[in-house]
Structure 1
């Protein structure tokens, strides 16, 4: 069987690139029987999987992503004799000679339409239901994403398997104190701190720094409000990691007095994130609408206790491995922060159970579920075609 995978989303500067890399790497690790055709729109990551003998990587150029999706990809699939086309993100060729499958993320365009271009919102609301109907199989990243998509799209979305994203293999506890100390010195971090890994930009906002708009969905202002409420009761500082987070807080009206014991650092490279989680004594994640929080998984995998939002998909991801609070109530978060900050036994217990919960997420399992879904789809498609040919033969 030959599987074509649309790799266009690899070009995004977001956590989704880590998802695609983790998924493809592990699919290739467990599957040496099938061949893979990886289709790129730019040269940036061309050759990333060239070490695998059953992989062919191809650069497809097109003037627009729509042309790439709907013309270049299906043409190459025909040329290469592909059995199925899979896009880990949310579009598929509408005309193809083989079945197509795609991933599903949370339907942000319905919830936060103001953070996308108007045309993009119109396009997605028009086309996403069409793509879902066309797709023979769907891979939502969480049950929450699946149910939200069913609600907003008004479709049953029956042929679906939940395939969670997972923390990278480097997301794990670090036992070497000197490594953590060196990292703290590099970023001028305090000895004891609570952490908020967040963002105030959004993939739907082009030229983010130029237009000056902010995305409040990750809710970092609730972290700051909660910390202001409890900072005199705990020995910790607050570290907020992300681009332009301080600018966002100033935009909301916070002052230098509010920033006492607060440290803002730029976006930490993905490779260094385990050091950040290991250096912190807890992570605060009050996002309003995370469908499948990668940062929640990463923090748990590093043994950093988490206080997360009780809305969105956080409860599904965190399970018993985190504490939860109301993202609309900073005082609720402040109370939980006090409890964890002032109780060494509670922090140790949370560290133990969050590591247990993180172990439930496995790239090998996600890769196998994805591969099984693709194989099942091809077999069903080929079986239906065989029956159709038999009927046509009898009729003649």
Structure 2
């Protein structure tokens, strides 16, 4: 089987955790004995040179990653390339696909957040998603999703055929680069006190301000570390910390390397992940695999990933979150138990299994 994987949306280093998830999925599929062609933007080959050991990488002949250009290219250049390469199936990795379908199609829908929080989306992007995603669900041969939560959400939203919506959970191995070392990372970023870690840009659904309010009562015993690029709620979050008198303990590290992120997981008291909406929640899996205890939101797909390996609370229960953070700091036995259970839980998420399930989706699409 000749499989094409469309990663034209993936600008290396600019799309967050989905880059690690999808490139690892490609690596897993590439070991399953089929011919694989990855279509990506310029720079992909340099960013992920090892992928050429399992796939033929075709980079686009243009350098701009503007969304209108990409959408136009998917309808024209990509379709022509797929025919030229005699592909049997095309996999679109970001939840949308061309309206003109030339081959059997598999689409990965990571979530349909735009239906739950439309106010978080630019009007033009929202209009595109509202037009394209329902079409994709009804006209693609198979839809793959990362969790049972997203599967149920897609089926309920679009009255989708349950036989064509398939769960392909991500794996845990290789999500992080080799650690830069916990001690070295703490020294490099000036982290002298115990700290809780929350990686990610301050999108509204990530619930950063809520976490600041929950952490404030224990701020005298541990800092709160945020990583990630500048986000839309940063000023509001800083104002909240200042109002509560804990601004000094709120540490913003900005973008950090994947190796430094691994070191932060290793040295944090816990990952604090109060997000209101996740289609999967890769940072939770990263943390558990790195031996970092998890305190997370009991919302959407997060409990499905955490299982019984972390402390799960409502993303609206400020007092409950404060108590959970206090328990992490006060009870070494609890922390050790969460580390043990987290590592075991992360080991259940295998890229080998993910690759096999994804290949089964391709086989279903061409059957």
Do both proteins adopt the same fold according to a TM-score greater than 0.5, normalized to the shorter chain? Answer: yes
Residues 49 and 153 (structure 1), Cα distance of their counterparts in 2 relative to 1, 3 Å cut: farther
1:24 maps onto 2:26 in alignment: yes
Counterpart of 1:211 in structure 2 is: none
Residue 242 of structure 1 pairs with residue 223 of structure 2: no
Deviates more, 1:116-125 or 1:258-267: 258-267
SS of 1:128's partner is helix
Residue 44 (structure 2) pairs with residue 45 (structure 1): yes
1:265 aligned partner? 253
Which structure 2 segments of 5+ residues have no match?
63-67
Deviation at 1:252, TM superposition (A): 5.0
Tell me if structure 2 keeps the 8 A contact 1:141–1:292: yes
Show structure 1 runs of 4+ deviating over 6 A.
Answer: none
SS at match of 1:158: helix
Taking the TM superposition and a 5 Å limit, the aligned residue runs for 1:1-396 are: 1-11=1-11, 12-28=14-30, 30-32=31-33, 34-40=34-40, 42-46=41-45, 48=48, 52=52, 55-61=55-61, 64-169=69-174, 171=176, 179-200=181-202, 215-232=203-220, 235-244=221-230, 246-251=234-239, 254-255=242-243, 257-378=245-366, 380=367
The 3 A distance-change label for structure 1 pair 98 and 263 is: closer
Cα distance change on mapping 1:164 and 1:182 into 2, 3 Å? same
Greater relative contact order, per chain length (Cα 8 Å cut-off, separation 6+) = 2
Give the gaps of 5 or more residues in structure 1: 201-214, 381-396
For residues 116-153 of structure 1, the C-alpha deviation after alignment (integer angstroms, 9 at most, x for no partner) is: 22122122112211111111011101111111122233
Deviation per residue, 1:273-313 (Å, 9 max, x gap) = 11010010111100001110011000111111111001111
Please report the RMSD computed on the Cα atoms of aligned residues, expressed in angstroms: 2.3
Contact 1:104–1:146 under 8 Å retained in 2? no
Contact 1:109 1:121 in 2 (8 A): yes
Distance in 1 of aligned mates of 2:358 and 2:318? 39
1:157 CA drift (Å): 4.3
Conserved? CA contact 1:107–1:145, under 8 Å? yes
Question: How far 1:251 moved relative to its partner?
Answer: 4.9
Offset at 1:195? 1.6
| TM-score, normalised with respect to structure 1 | 0.84
Shift of 1:327: 0.7
State the shift of 1:37 in Å.
1.8
**TM-score, with structure 2 as normaliser:** 0.90
